Amino acid sequence: MLMLSIDSSSQAATAAVLRGGELLCEYTQNQMKTHSVKMLPMIEQMLMDVELKLSDIDVFACGIGPGSFTGVRIGVATVRGFAKTLNKKVVPVNSLEILANNVSSFSGSVFALLMARENECYAAVYENGKEVVSPCVMTTREIAALGSNQPCLLVGDGALKNREFFQTALPDAKIAFGRSNVLSAASLGEIAFRKSANGAVSDCEGLIPLYLRKSQAEREYDERIKTAPSGGKDA
């Protein structure tokens, strides 16, 4: 089975082709503001390099977030378009699950953390590959309280950007290093192959972004509504 996996929920847009769970090729563009422009040419070049056509792909895998709102939308829309045009199935995978898969050899609790905004992270906890705390938004203090008194590994940019705080609040915790903290289309594809083997596939309409919180535009709109004077005139 040939799979094309795509994620654009972070700073990097990444795509990979896998055959039978084995990586054939992976491309990455590390410029968030150009995802909408460079994603399709990157995929086209990658397929050319492995001498495949888009129609050769049997199933598509997509990172659904949480992460950049615009990036998530670009990735989901791209995969929906491919799957609908070619009448192929899709496998959604959340970003935090990808991070946890990067450090799957760790035997304790894995805290997958992505920055949401200052002092807040998108967070999920995994043990032996099983999700024990579902994706949610947590403050760094809430994460520290949850991780106390247990061996744990923190992974993702939420761990790196709050390294000093976590090193103080969780002195026994480990913090992942290097590419373990990067959302990889290869890692996404590994997860998606396992899911597809268990029948966890859907049609393109089943590909739903995982945002976890409102976008900045939605928050600003809500704030304007709250502070706007009441309308209407006295009779």
- What ranges in 162-227 are assigned the alpha helix state H? 163-169, 185-197, 216-227
Q: What one-letter code names the amino acid at 66?
A: P
User: Residue 39 pLDDT more than 60?
Assistant: yes
In this structure, what DSSP letter does residue 20 have?
T
In a domain, 101, yes or no: yes
| Same domain? 141 vs 107 | yes
In a domain, 229, yes or no: no
| Same domain? 28 vs 66 | yes
pLDDT value at position 78? 96
Contact call for residues 119 and 166 (beta carbons, < 8 A):
no
User: Residue 5 pLDDT more than 50?
Assistant: yes
Q: Summarize pLDDT for 190-233 with one digit per residue, the tens.
A: 999 999 999 999 999 999 999 997 555 444 444 555 566 655 44
| Same domain? 14 vs 72 | yes
SS3 213: coil
> C-alpha distances in angstroms, 24 versus 2, 19, 168, 224?
10, 7, 42, 50
Contact call for residues 109 and 126 (beta carbons, < 8 A):
yes
| Same domain? 80 vs 188 | yes
In this structure, what DSSP letter does residue 191 have?
H
d(CA 195, CA 201) in angstroms, rounded, equals 7
Q: Is 146 left (phi over 0), alpha (psi -120 to 50) or beta?
A: alpha
Which CATH number characterizes residue 141's domain? 3.30.420.40
Mean pLDDT of 108-133: 95
pTM comes to: 0.89
| Same domain? 186 vs 176 | no
Least confident segment among 3-7, 68-72, 160-164, 225-229: 225-229
Q: Are strands 22-29 and 13-19 parallel, antiparallel or unpaired?
A: antiparallel
| Same domain? 35 vs 53 | yes
What's the number of domains the chain is made of?
A: 2
In a domain, 230, yes or no: no
| Same domain? 44 vs 155 | no
| Same domain? 17 vs 52 | yes
Cβ-proximal residues to 5 (8 Å cutoff; 6+ apart), any chain: 15, 16, 17, 18, 60, 61, 62, 63, 185, 186, 188, 189, 192
User: Residue 97 pLDDT more than 90?
Assistant: yes
| Same domain? 90 vs 114 | no
pLDDT value at position 35? 84
For the chain, what percent of residues have pLDDT higher than 70? 90
| Same domain? 137 vs 81 | no
- Residue 162 in tokens: 């709050």
Looking at the chain, how many residues does it have? 235
In a domain, 231, yes or no: no
Mean pLDDT of 12-20: 95
In a domain, 235, yes or no: no
In a domain, 23, yes or no: yes
In a domain, 233, yes or no: no
Greater confidence (215 vs 177) lies with 177
| Same domain? 125 vs 49 | no
Which range of residues forms the domain containing residue 150?
96-181
pLDDT value at position 150? 87
User: Residue 76 pLDDT more than 90?
Assistant: yes
